Structure 1
């Protein structure tokens, strides 16, 4: 096999591995962080045929339970924090009065290619941590507050999950960062 043919085969394996990763994260078999780590390997220049064939082995395990399409969180004079292994709904709404919202999505499972987190906050800060390699879109506004976004070092690959963070805040900050 020539070097050009081998390069073409590796490119085809990359596309197949990426598609399998997308299915696995959509079914909840991979967390966003696991997806991000594996996608980085798939698209690294040093990936070879053997590594790509093993990156997402076929699994006959049934898919994880599907999270609800919507989730609503209401907090008054208290903070809300979600981290560890949890299911991110397709649409999450957090209404906070005098409290902070902290979401850590690195170990969260998602069932949709794109998820929206909407936060309405009066006198409270919002913090969202996503794994590197996940596409993040920001919207909304902060009145008397700051907006900070750190996308990390790794670009989102083709077909990466999309997390939309929409924040409407009065006297509060929004911080979104990739780790």
Structure 2
């Protein structure tokens, strides 16, 4: 009797590779690994072809901190954050009816990448990002109106990457860079 054929190794995609690179960079920024360990890990991640190779490249990293996710939710009314406030690594914003205004221009952003996940039924949303931020809205689905965002021509190095994902039902998202 012949043994059953083995499953072929599962190949990784660019999203998996990008997430692994981000995880290494965050571990380095938080002081969990040295510069040399980050270089070695990046080399392994960038040359990995299968999930098992990717997992072994990240095996020495500490577990990701689940405490860096916060949720702001309201059924109706306004959700507003502005001034000096600490932005978590992952921010989930849920609003069935109402307006959302997130002003990150003077917020304390401790992470090189911030993920904002929107779940908005109806109403407008406005996000003001720091002047040097890089904004990614690829993961956002709009049900009715397009997102209003014009990328800056010149973003300085070192600014945070703000990734906005989720779904907007009937409403519009407006994103702008702070003027100062």
Higher RCO, Cα 8 Å, sep 6+: 1
Where do 5+ consecutive residues of structure 2 fail to align?
1-28, 31-66
Residue 141 of structure 1 deviates from its aligned partner by 1.1
- CA distance in 2 between counterparts of 1:76 and 1:166 reads 20
Whether contact under 8 Å (1:129, 1:176) holds in the other structure is: yes
1:176 alignment counterpart = 175
1:147 alignment counterpart = 147
Residue 159 of structure 1 deviates from its aligned partner by 3.4
1:165 alignment counterpart = 164
Whether contact under 8 Å (1:152, 1:177) holds in the other structure is: no
Residue 71 of structure 1 deviates from its aligned partner by 0.6
Whether contact under 8 Å (2:101, 2:125) holds in the other structure is: yes
Alpha-carbon displacement from aligned partner over 1:44-83 (angstroms, at most 9, x marks no partner): xxxxxxxxxxxxxxxxxxxxxxxx5011011111110000
Whether contact under 8 Å (1:167, 1:174) holds in the other structure is: no
- CA distance in 1 between counterparts of 2:92 and 2:109 reads 16
Change (3 A) 1:167 1:175: farther
Aligned residues: 113
- CA distance in 1 between counterparts of 2:127 and 2:150 reads 11
Residue 150 of structure 1 deviates from its aligned partner by 2.7
RMSD over aligned CA atoms reads 1.8
- CA distance in 2 between counterparts of 1:146 and 1:97 reads 19
Whether contact under 8 Å (2:116, 2:163) holds in the other structure is: yes
The TM-score, its normalising length taken from structure 2, stands at 0.58
Largest Rg, 1 or 2: 2
The TM-score, its normalising length taken from structure 1, stands at 0.59
- CA distance in 2 between counterparts of 1:129 and 1:174 reads 11
